[in-house]
Amino acid sequence: MLTLKVINENPEEVVRRLSKKNFDAKETVSQIIAADDVRRSTQTSLDTMLGEVNTLSRSVGSLMKEGKKEEAAIVRGKVVVLKESAKQLEETLKAAEAKIEHLLVTIPNLPHESVPEGKGAEDNLVEKTGGVMPVLTDDALPHWELAKKYDLIDFELGVKITGAGFPVYKGKGARLQRALISFFLDSARDAGYLEVQPPYVVNSDSGFGTGQLPDKEGQMYHVGEDDLYLIPTAEVPVTNMYRDVILDEKELPLKNTAYSACFRREAGSYGKDVRGLNRLHQFDKVEIVCIDKPDHSYERLKEMVRHVETLVEKLELPWRILRLCGGDMSFTSALTFDFEVFSAAQQRWLEVSSVSNFESYQANRLKCRFRDADRKTQLCHTLNGSALALPRIVAALLENNQTPSGIRIPKVLVPYCGFESID
Protein backbone atom coordinates (compact mmCIF):
# COMPACT_ATOMS: atom_id res chain seq x y z
CA MET A 1 0.00 0.00 0.00
CA LEU A 2 1.00 3.63 -0.38
CA THR A 3 2.80 5.28 2.51
CA LEU A 4 1.31 8.18 4.44
CA LYS A 5 4.43 10.17 3.56
CA VAL A 6 3.73 9.89 -0.19
CA ILE A 7 0.09 10.94 0.26
CA ASN A 8 0.79 13.81 2.65
CA GLU A 9 3.68 15.26 0.63
CA ASN A 10 1.87 15.45 -2.71
CA PRO A 11 -1.81 14.50 -2.58
CA GLU A 12 -2.57 16.16 -5.93
CA GLU A 13 0.11 14.07 -7.63
CA VAL A 14 -1.30 10.89 -6.10
CA VAL A 15 -4.79 11.71 -7.40
CA ARG A 16 -3.41 12.60 -10.85
CA ARG A 17 -1.42 9.40 -11.27
CA LEU A 18 -4.20 7.15 -10.01
CA SER A 19 -6.57 8.62 -12.57
CA LYS A 20 -4.48 6.73 -15.15
CA LYS A 21 -5.79 3.55 -13.49
CA ASN A 22 -9.29 4.99 -13.86
CA PHE A 23 -9.44 5.34 -10.08
CA ASP A 24 -10.83 8.52 -8.52
CA ALA A 25 -8.79 8.89 -5.32
CA LYS A 26 -9.67 12.49 -4.46
CA GLU A 27 -12.19 11.77 -1.69
CA THR A 28 -10.21 8.89 -0.19
CA VAL A 29 -6.98 10.91 -0.15
CA SER A 30 -8.80 13.81 1.58
CA GLN A 31 -10.18 11.43 4.20
CA ILE A 32 -6.73 9.93 4.82
CA ILE A 33 -5.15 13.37 5.29
CA ALA A 34 -7.95 14.44 7.67
CA ALA A 35 -7.64 11.22 9.68
CA ASP A 36 -3.85 11.63 9.80
CA ASP A 37 -4.26 15.18 11.11
CA VAL A 38 -6.44 13.77 13.90
CA ARG A 39 -3.88 11.03 14.54
CA ARG A 40 -0.95 13.43 14.82
CA SER A 41 -2.72 16.01 17.01
CA THR A 42 -4.08 13.25 19.25
CA GLN A 43 -0.62 11.69 19.55
CA THR A 44 0.84 15.06 20.55
CA SER A 45 -1.86 15.63 23.17
CA LEU A 46 -1.45 12.09 24.48
CA ASP A 47 2.32 12.42 24.76
CA THR A 48 1.96 15.73 26.63
CA MET A 49 -0.65 14.27 28.97
CA LEU A 50 1.36 11.12 29.72
CA GLY A 51 4.38 13.30 30.44
CA GLU A 52 2.30 15.29 32.93
CA VAL A 53 1.05 12.06 34.51
CA ASN A 54 4.63 10.88 35.01
CA THR A 55 5.68 14.22 36.53
CA LEU A 56 2.72 14.30 38.92
CA SER A 57 3.15 10.65 39.86
CA ARG A 58 6.76 11.33 40.88
CA SER A 59 5.67 14.33 42.94
CA VAL A 60 3.21 12.17 44.91
CA GLY A 61 6.08 10.13 46.28
CA SER A 62 8.03 13.26 47.24
CA LEU A 63 5.02 14.79 48.98
CA MET A 64 4.40 11.61 50.95
CA LYS A 65 8.02 11.58 52.10
CA GLU A 66 7.58 15.16 53.29
CA GLY A 67 4.43 14.18 55.19
CA LYS A 68 2.16 16.27 52.98
CA LYS A 69 -0.57 13.66 52.71
CA GLU A 70 -3.40 16.04 51.81
CA GLU A 71 -1.41 17.63 49.01
CA ALA A 72 -0.38 14.17 47.82
CA ALA A 73 -4.03 13.10 47.75
CA ILE A 74 -4.98 16.12 45.64
CA VAL A 75 -2.18 15.38 43.16
CA ARG A 76 -3.16 11.72 43.07
CA GLY A 77 -6.70 12.77 42.16
CA LYS A 78 -5.34 14.85 39.30
CA VAL A 79 -3.39 11.81 38.10
CA VAL A 80 -6.57 9.70 38.08
CA VAL A 81 -8.40 12.32 35.99
CA LEU A 82 -5.51 12.65 33.55
CA LYS A 83 -5.23 8.89 33.15
CA GLU A 84 -8.92 8.69 32.30
CA SER A 85 -8.49 11.45 29.73
CA ALA A 86 -5.45 9.63 28.36
CA LYS A 87 -7.54 6.49 27.85
CA GLN A 88 -10.03 8.48 25.80
CA LEU A 89 -7.19 9.93 23.70
CA GLU A 90 -5.78 6.43 23.16
CA GLU A 91 -9.18 5.29 21.88
CA THR A 92 -9.33 8.29 19.55
CA LEU A 93 -5.81 7.50 18.34
CA LYS A 94 -6.62 3.85 17.68
CA ALA A 95 -9.78 4.82 15.78
CA ALA A 96 -7.82 7.28 13.60
CA GLU A 97 -5.10 4.69 12.89
CA ALA A 98 -7.71 2.06 12.03
CA LYS A 99 -9.47 4.47 9.67
CA ILE A 100 -6.21 5.33 7.93
CA GLU A 101 -5.33 1.64 7.52
CA HIS A 102 -8.81 0.87 6.18
CA LEU A 103 -8.60 3.68 3.64
CA LEU A 104 -5.02 2.98 2.57
CA VAL A 105 -5.76 -0.61 1.52
CA THR A 106 -8.50 0.64 -0.82
CA ILE A 107 -6.04 2.70 -2.90
CA PRO A 108 -4.20 1.00 -5.78
CA ASN A 109 -0.50 1.38 -6.41
CA LEU A 110 0.61 4.43 -8.36
CA PRO A 111 1.27 3.59 -12.01
CA HIS A 112 4.72 4.35 -13.39
CA GLU A 113 4.89 7.40 -15.64
CA SER A 114 5.54 5.12 -18.64
CA VAL A 115 2.16 3.39 -18.25
CA PRO A 116 -0.06 4.33 -21.20
CA GLU A 117 -3.55 5.74 -20.84
CA GLY A 118 -6.39 3.34 -21.49
CA LYS A 119 -9.42 1.55 -20.10
CA GLY A 120 -8.85 -2.08 -21.10
CA ALA A 121 -6.86 -4.69 -23.01
CA GLU A 122 -7.57 -3.01 -26.34
CA ASP A 123 -5.47 -0.03 -25.19
CA ASN A 124 -2.32 -1.99 -24.31
CA LEU A 125 0.79 -1.17 -26.34
CA VAL A 126 2.69 -3.81 -28.29
CA GLU A 127 6.35 -3.35 -27.31
CA LYS A 128 8.01 -6.16 -29.22
CA THR A 129 7.20 -9.25 -31.28
CA GLY A 130 9.12 -12.36 -32.24
CA GLY A 131 8.91 -15.91 -33.49
CA VAL A 132 7.54 -17.35 -36.71
CA MET A 133 3.83 -17.69 -37.34
CA PRO A 134 2.94 -21.32 -38.14
CA VAL A 135 1.01 -22.16 -41.27
CA LEU A 136 -1.64 -24.78 -40.58
CA THR A 137 -3.94 -26.70 -42.88
CA ASP A 138 -7.62 -25.85 -43.07
CA ASP A 139 -8.50 -28.92 -41.01
CA ALA A 140 -6.24 -27.93 -38.09
CA LEU A 141 -7.72 -28.75 -34.69
CA PRO A 142 -7.92 -26.64 -31.55
CA HIS A 143 -5.97 -27.97 -28.58
CA TRP A 144 -8.98 -29.43 -26.76
CA GLU A 145 -9.71 -31.66 -29.76
CA LEU A 146 -6.04 -32.57 -30.12
CA ALA A 147 -5.97 -33.47 -26.41
CA LYS A 148 -8.88 -35.85 -26.97
CA LYS A 149 -7.48 -37.28 -30.21
CA TYR A 150 -4.13 -38.18 -28.63
CA ASP A 151 -5.52 -38.90 -25.14
CA LEU A 152 -3.43 -36.17 -23.50
CA ILE A 153 -5.93 -34.34 -21.30
CA ASP A 154 -9.31 -35.47 -20.00
CA PHE A 155 -11.47 -32.47 -19.24
CA GLU A 156 -14.63 -34.51 -18.59
CA LEU A 157 -12.86 -36.72 -16.04
CA GLY A 158 -11.75 -33.57 -14.23
CA VAL A 159 -15.37 -32.43 -14.09
CA LYS A 160 -16.37 -35.78 -12.61
CA ILE A 161 -13.64 -35.68 -9.96
CA THR A 162 -13.84 -32.01 -9.03
CA GLY A 163 -15.61 -29.70 -11.47
CA ALA A 164 -14.99 -27.60 -14.55
CA GLY A 165 -11.50 -26.12 -14.78
CA PHE A 166 -9.67 -29.05 -13.14
CA PRO A 167 -8.35 -31.21 -16.01
CA VAL A 168 -6.62 -34.58 -15.71
CA TYR A 169 -3.37 -34.87 -17.69
CA LYS A 170 -2.55 -38.32 -19.02
CA GLY A 171 0.35 -40.15 -20.66
CA LYS A 172 2.42 -37.85 -22.88
CA GLY A 173 0.23 -34.95 -21.76
CA ALA A 174 1.37 -35.46 -18.17
CA ARG A 175 4.97 -35.93 -19.27
CA LEU A 176 4.83 -32.70 -21.31
CA GLN A 177 3.64 -30.88 -18.17
CA ARG A 178 6.53 -32.24 -16.14
CA ALA A 179 8.99 -31.45 -18.93
CA LEU A 180 7.90 -27.82 -19.12
CA ILE A 181 8.13 -27.39 -15.34
CA SER A 182 11.67 -28.81 -15.29
CA PHE A 183 12.73 -26.70 -18.28
CA PHE A 184 11.40 -23.49 -16.71
CA LEU A 185 13.00 -24.23 -13.33
CA ASP A 186 16.36 -25.12 -14.86
CA SER A 187 16.27 -21.94 -16.96
CA ALA A 188 15.51 -19.81 -13.90
CA ARG A 189 18.31 -21.40 -11.89
CA ASP A 190 20.72 -20.81 -14.79
CA ALA A 191 19.66 -17.14 -14.68
CA GLY A 192 20.64 -16.87 -11.02
CA TYR A 193 17.34 -17.58 -9.26
CA LEU A 194 17.42 -19.73 -6.12
CA GLU A 195 14.80 -22.48 -6.32
CA VAL A 196 12.41 -22.85 -3.38
CA GLN A 197 9.39 -25.07 -2.82
CA PRO A 198 6.72 -23.09 -0.98
CA PRO A 199 3.44 -24.11 0.70
CA TYR A 200 0.29 -24.13 -1.43
CA VAL A 201 -1.83 -22.56 1.30
CA VAL A 202 -1.16 -19.28 3.10
CA ASN A 203 -2.57 -17.41 6.08
CA SER A 204 -4.37 -14.07 5.86
CA ASP A 205 -1.24 -12.08 6.80
CA SER A 206 0.52 -13.49 3.74
CA GLY A 207 -2.46 -12.75 1.50
CA PHE A 208 -2.57 -9.18 2.79
CA GLY A 209 1.20 -8.75 2.40
CA THR A 210 1.21 -9.25 -1.37
CA GLY A 211 -2.15 -7.56 -1.96
CA GLN A 212 -4.45 -10.52 -2.63
CA LEU A 213 -6.39 -9.64 0.51
CA PRO A 214 -8.81 -8.04 0.93
CA ASP A 215 -10.08 -10.24 -1.92
CA LYS A 216 -12.13 -7.63 -3.73
CA GLU A 217 -13.04 -9.89 -6.65
CA GLY A 218 -13.58 -13.15 -4.78
CA GLN A 219 -10.90 -14.97 -6.77
CA MET A 220 -9.25 -16.94 -3.95
CA TYR A 221 -10.27 -20.33 -2.59
CA HIS A 222 -10.74 -20.08 1.18
CA VAL A 223 -10.38 -22.94 3.67
CA GLY A 224 -12.84 -21.55 6.19
CA GLU A 225 -12.24 -23.82 9.18
CA ASP A 226 -8.52 -23.00 9.28
CA ASP A 227 -8.77 -19.50 7.77
CA LEU A 228 -6.23 -20.36 5.08
CA TYR A 229 -6.17 -19.57 1.36
CA LEU A 230 -5.09 -21.67 -1.62
CA ILE A 231 -2.41 -19.73 -3.45
CA PRO A 232 -3.31 -18.08 -6.78
CA THR A 233 0.41 -17.96 -7.61
CA ALA A 234 3.72 -18.86 -5.97
CA GLU A 235 4.37 -15.10 -5.79
CA VAL A 236 2.37 -15.05 -2.55
CA PRO A 237 4.32 -17.53 -0.39
CA VAL A 238 7.70 -16.73 -1.97
CA THR A 239 7.43 -12.95 -1.50
CA ASN A 240 6.14 -13.51 2.04
CA MET A 241 9.39 -15.26 2.90
CA TYR A 242 10.64 -11.70 3.38
CA ARG A 243 7.70 -10.37 5.42
CA ASP A 244 8.83 -8.55 8.60
CA VAL A 245 12.47 -8.91 7.54
CA ILE A 246 15.19 -6.26 7.51
CA LEU A 247 17.80 -7.17 4.90
CA ASP A 248 21.30 -5.84 4.50
CA GLU A 249 21.93 -3.84 1.34
CA LYS A 250 24.69 -6.31 0.41
CA GLU A 251 22.13 -9.16 0.26
CA LEU A 252 20.24 -7.52 -2.60
CA PRO A 253 19.05 -8.46 -5.12
CA LEU A 254 17.35 -11.58 -3.78
CA LYS A 255 16.13 -13.79 -6.64
CA ASN A 256 13.88 -16.82 -6.13
CA THR A 257 12.06 -19.21 -8.42
CA ALA A 258 9.37 -21.69 -7.50
CA TYR A 259 7.04 -24.16 -9.13
CA SER A 260 3.55 -24.49 -7.73
CA ALA A 261 0.05 -25.47 -8.61
CA CYS A 262 -2.11 -22.33 -8.68
CA PHE A 263 -5.76 -22.04 -7.70
CA ARG A 264 -8.12 -19.33 -8.93
CA ARG A 265 -11.89 -19.24 -8.76
CA GLU A 266 -12.02 -17.09 -11.93
CA ALA A 267 -15.43 -15.84 -10.94
CA GLY A 268 -17.51 -14.65 -13.86
CA SER A 269 -15.53 -16.48 -16.54
CA TYR A 270 -17.62 -18.04 -19.27
CA GLY A 271 -17.93 -18.46 -23.02
CA LYS A 272 -15.65 -19.61 -25.82
CA ASP A 273 -12.58 -17.89 -24.34
CA VAL A 274 -12.51 -20.37 -21.46
CA ARG A 275 -12.63 -23.59 -23.50
CA GLY A 276 -9.97 -26.22 -22.95
CA LEU A 277 -6.82 -24.84 -21.32
CA ASN A 278 -7.64 -21.18 -21.97
CA ARG A 279 -8.83 -20.59 -18.41
CA LEU A 280 -8.58 -23.05 -15.51
CA HIS A 281 -9.24 -23.11 -11.78
CA GLN A 282 -6.09 -25.16 -11.13
CA PHE A 283 -2.96 -24.89 -13.22
CA ASP A 284 0.84 -25.20 -12.99
CA LYS A 285 3.23 -22.28 -13.11
CA VAL A 286 6.86 -21.45 -12.47
CA GLU A 287 7.32 -18.05 -10.84
CA ILE A 288 10.30 -15.74 -10.52
CA VAL A 289 10.42 -13.24 -7.64
CA CYS A 290 12.95 -10.51 -6.99
CA ILE A 291 13.58 -8.21 -4.00
CA ASP A 292 15.85 -5.25 -4.73
CA LYS A 293 16.73 -1.65 -3.91
CA PRO A 294 14.49 1.10 -5.33
CA ASP A 295 17.20 2.52 -7.61
CA HIS A 296 17.82 -0.89 -9.20
CA SER A 297 14.29 -2.25 -9.58
CA TYR A 298 13.53 -1.06 -13.10
CA GLU A 299 16.77 -2.49 -14.44
CA ARG A 300 15.75 -5.71 -12.67
CA LEU A 301 12.36 -5.56 -14.41
CA LYS A 302 14.09 -5.36 -17.80
CA GLU A 303 16.22 -8.35 -16.85
CA MET A 304 13.15 -10.40 -15.90
CA VAL A 305 11.37 -9.49 -19.14
CA ARG A 306 14.43 -10.58 -21.11
CA HIS A 307 14.44 -13.89 -19.24
CA VAL A 308 10.83 -14.65 -20.18
CA GLU A 309 11.58 -13.65 -23.76
CA THR A 310 14.31 -16.31 -23.95
CA LEU A 311 11.81 -18.95 -22.82
CA VAL A 312 9.18 -18.29 -25.50
CA GLU A 313 11.96 -18.05 -28.09
CA LYS A 314 13.36 -21.46 -27.12
CA LEU A 315 9.86 -22.93 -27.29
CA GLU A 316 9.68 -21.72 -30.93
CA LEU A 317 6.40 -19.89 -30.37
CA PRO A 318 5.23 -16.64 -31.97
CA TRP A 319 5.16 -14.08 -29.16
CA ARG A 320 4.61 -10.46 -28.34
CA ILE A 321 5.22 -8.23 -25.32
CA LEU A 322 2.53 -5.78 -24.21
CA ARG A 323 2.97 -2.74 -21.99
CA LEU A 324 -0.27 -2.72 -20.02
CA CYS A 325 -2.35 0.44 -19.93
CA GLY A 326 -3.61 1.89 -16.68
CA GLY A 327 -7.05 0.33 -16.99
CA ASP A 328 -5.70 -3.20 -17.53
CA MET A 329 -3.15 -3.25 -14.72
CA SER A 330 -3.46 -5.07 -11.44
CA PHE A 331 -4.32 -3.24 -8.24
CA THR A 332 -0.80 -3.64 -6.86
CA SER A 333 1.41 -3.11 -9.91
CA ALA A 334 3.32 0.03 -10.88
CA LEU A 335 4.32 -1.29 -14.32
CA THR A 336 3.45 -4.59 -16.02
CA PHE A 337 4.56 -6.29 -19.20
CA ASP A 338 2.42 -9.17 -20.47
CA PHE A 339 3.70 -11.91 -22.75
CA GLU A 340 1.31 -13.47 -25.25
CA VAL A 341 1.83 -16.39 -27.62
CA PHE A 342 -0.17 -17.02 -30.75
CA SER A 343 -2.43 -20.05 -30.75
CA ALA A 344 -2.68 -20.88 -34.43
CA ALA A 345 -5.77 -23.09 -34.53
CA GLN A 346 -7.76 -20.69 -32.37
CA GLN A 347 -6.31 -17.73 -34.27
CA ARG A 348 -5.86 -15.72 -31.10
CA TRP A 349 -3.21 -14.42 -28.76
CA LEU A 350 -3.02 -16.05 -25.33
CA GLU A 351 -1.47 -14.44 -22.26
CA VAL A 352 1.21 -16.68 -20.74
CA SER A 353 3.12 -14.33 -18.45
CA SER A 354 2.89 -11.07 -16.53
CA VAL A 355 6.09 -9.43 -15.30
CA SER A 356 5.54 -6.59 -12.84
CA ASN A 357 7.33 -4.09 -10.64
CA PHE A 358 5.33 -3.30 -7.50
CA GLU A 359 7.89 -0.76 -6.27
CA SER A 360 7.40 -0.38 -2.48
CA TYR A 361 3.64 -1.10 -2.52
CA GLN A 362 3.91 -4.73 -1.42
CA ALA A 363 6.99 -4.06 0.71
CA ASN A 364 5.07 -1.51 2.79
CA ARG A 365 2.40 -4.13 3.52
CA LEU A 366 5.04 -6.79 4.13
CA LYS A 367 7.34 -4.53 6.18
CA CYS A 368 10.13 -5.80 3.92
CA ARG A 369 13.05 -3.42 4.39
CA PHE A 370 16.80 -3.11 3.97
CA ARG A 371 19.58 -1.18 5.69
CA ASP A 372 21.54 1.05 3.34
CA ALA A 373 25.22 2.02 3.59
CA ASP A 374 24.31 4.72 6.15
CA ARG A 375 22.48 2.08 8.27
CA LYS A 376 19.16 3.76 7.52
CA THR A 377 16.16 1.51 6.97
CA GLN A 378 14.29 1.75 3.66
CA LEU A 379 11.46 -0.15 2.00
CA CYS A 380 12.53 -2.65 -0.65
CA HIS A 381 11.02 -2.93 -4.11
CA THR A 382 9.39 -6.24 -5.07
CA LEU A 383 8.98 -7.75 -8.53
CA ASN A 384 7.57 -10.97 -9.90
CA GLY A 385 6.82 -12.70 -13.17
CA SER A 386 5.42 -15.92 -14.64
CA ALA A 387 8.25 -17.89 -16.18
CA LEU A 388 6.01 -19.48 -17.32
CA ALA A 389 2.36 -20.44 -16.78
CA LEU A 390 1.73 -23.81 -18.43
CA PRO A 391 -1.87 -24.12 -19.69
CA ARG A 392 -1.81 -21.67 -22.60
CA ILE A 393 1.78 -22.59 -23.44
CA VAL A 394 0.61 -26.19 -23.82
CA ALA A 395 -2.39 -25.03 -25.88
CA ALA A 396 -0.13 -23.13 -28.29
CA LEU A 397 2.46 -25.94 -28.46
CA LEU A 398 -0.19 -28.52 -29.37
CA GLU A 399 -1.95 -26.35 -31.94
CA ASN A 400 1.09 -24.78 -33.59
CA ASN A 401 3.07 -28.01 -33.92
CA GLN A 402 0.34 -30.31 -35.23
CA THR A 403 1.13 -32.23 -38.43
CA PRO A 404 -0.68 -34.99 -40.34
CA SER A 405 1.54 -37.54 -38.56
CA GLY A 406 1.35 -36.13 -35.04
CA ILE A 407 2.47 -33.22 -32.85
CA ARG A 408 6.09 -32.13 -32.97
CA ILE A 409 7.91 -31.39 -29.70
CA PRO A 410 10.25 -28.33 -29.72
CA LYS A 411 13.93 -29.34 -29.64
CA VAL A 412 14.58 -27.72 -26.26
CA LEU A 413 11.93 -29.93 -24.63
CA VAL A 414 12.94 -33.27 -26.16
CA PRO A 415 15.58 -34.09 -23.48
CA TYR A 416 12.98 -33.32 -20.81
CA CYS A 417 10.10 -35.17 -22.46
CA GLY A 418 12.00 -38.24 -23.62
CA PHE A 419 10.12 -38.18 -26.94
CA GLU A 420 10.20 -36.09 -30.12
CA SER A 421 6.54 -36.24 -31.08
CA ILE A 422 3.06 -37.11 -29.91
CA ASP A 423 1.39 -39.61 -32.23
Q: Indicate whether 271 pLDDT > 70.
A: no
In DSSP notation, 259-281 reads EEEEE---TT--SGGGSTTSS-S
pLDDT digits (tens, 9 = 90+) for 274-300: 789 999 999 999 999 999 999 999 999
pLDDT at 72: 81
> pLDDT confidence of 272, banded at 50, 70, 90?
low
Q: What is the mean pLDDT of residues 210-226?
A: 92
Name the CATH superfamily for 4-104: Serine-tRNA synthetase, tRNA binding domain (1.10.287.40)
Please tell me the distance from the alpha carbon of residue 407 to that of residue 303, in angstroms, as a whole number. Answer: 33
pLDDT at 69: 79
Non-local CB neighbours of 406 within 8 Å, separated by 6+ positions: 150, 421, 422, 423
**Residue 330 to residues 17, 72, 110, 289, 333, Cα–Cα distance (Å):** 15, 62, 11, 17, 5
Name the strand (E) or helix (H) holding 349.
strand 348-357
Q: What is the residue extent of each domain of the chain?
A: 4-104, 121-422
Q: What is the mean pLDDT of residues 368-378?
A: 96
Task: Determine the residue type at 192.
Answer: G
Q: Which residue has the higher pLDDT, 58 or 148?
A: 148
pLDDT at 79: 84
Q: What is the mean pLDDT of residues 32-46?
A: 97
Q: Which of 351, 397, 414, 352 is nearest to 134 (CA)?
A: 397
Q: What is the mean pLDDT of residues 103-132?
A: 97
pLDDT at 180: 98
pLDDT digits (tens, 9 = 90+) for 317-364: 999 999 999 999 999 999 999 999 999 999 999 999 999 999 999 999
- The pairing of strands 194-195 and 254-263 is parallel
Do residues 267 and 215 lie in contact, with contact meaning Cβ atoms separated by under 8 Å? no
Do residues 286 and 258 lie in contact, with contact meaning Cβ atoms separated by under 8 Å? yes
> pLDDT confidence of 270, banded at 50, 70, 90?
low
- Tell me what percent of the residues of the chain surpass a pLDDT of 90: 89
Alpha-carbon Rg for the chain, nearest whole angstrom, is 28
Q: What is the mean pLDDT of residues 66-74?
A: 80
Q: What is the mean pLDDT of residues 37-53?
A: 94
Q: Indicate whether 53 pLDDT > 90.
A: no
The mean of the pLDDT values for the chain is 95
pLDDT at 179: 98
Using the Cα atoms of residue 95, residue 108, residue 258 and residue 152 in order, give the sign of their dihedral. Answer: positive
Assign a CATH topology to domain 121-422: BirA Bifunctional Protein; domain 2 (3.30.930)
pLDDT at 57: 83
